[in-house]
Amino acid sequence: MAEDLQIIAGDKKQKYEALLPQIEALICGEPDPIANLANIAAALKQTFGFFWVGFYLVKEEVLVLGPFQGPVACTRIRYGKGVCGTAWKEQKTLIVPDVDQFPGHIACSSASRSEIVVPILREGQVTGVLDIDSDTLNTFDETDRYYLEKLVAHLSGNK
């Protein structure tokens, strides 16, 4: 397996189209979930330069910080709290164009301006979330939702 990531020039859709098969190649054959989540966070950060990319994993009824790339972050998020805890509760992807407008947003960094959180579902249960923060407003849209949900679907059998 080549560990070099090929980052193509192009729009967001083209970047995701090139990235997803590379991530699949990176994680297939590696049974350790932490290794795979770490590489996924790195690949997303490397490709898009997002401010913060990481995972929170459900452990004993709380989301606990998992592999991530970016500044240090809060370690525990309760069910229904913040964007992450709400995505867990609602079992759906949340796109937040302006974090200041999201009631109860948990500000791990004051530099974060917009956010997307994608739940990882396994047999109808949320086992964790993928959380991406941007330092600009309105970064995430339906293209991000589509490809990140597709990416996260690969993890369902891998946790």
Helices marked H in 53-141: 82-90
Q: Is 105 one of the binding residues for ligand SME (CB under 6 A)?
A: yes
77 binds ligand SME (CB under 6 A): yes
115 part of the interface to ligand SME, by CB under 6 A: yes
51 contributes a contact to ligand SME by CB under 6 A: no
Six token digits for residue 9: 């020039």
Residue whose CB is less far from ligand SME, 62 or 106: 106
Burial of 157 (0-12, 13-18, 19+ CB in 10 A): exposed
133 binds ligand SME (CB under 6 A): yes
Q: Calculate the alpha carbon distances from 25 to 49, 58, 139, 158 in Å.
A: 21, 26, 27, 14
Contact status: 155 vs ligand SME (CB under 6 A): no
CA 70 to each of CA 9, 55, 157: distance values in angstroms, whole numbers, following the listed order: 23, 12, 26
Stretch that binds ligand SME, among 10-18, 22-30, 43-51, 79-87 (CB under 6 A): 79-87
Instruction: State the residues that interact with ligand SME by CB under 6 A.
Output: 52, 73-74, 77, 82-84, 105-106, 108, 112, 115, 131, 133
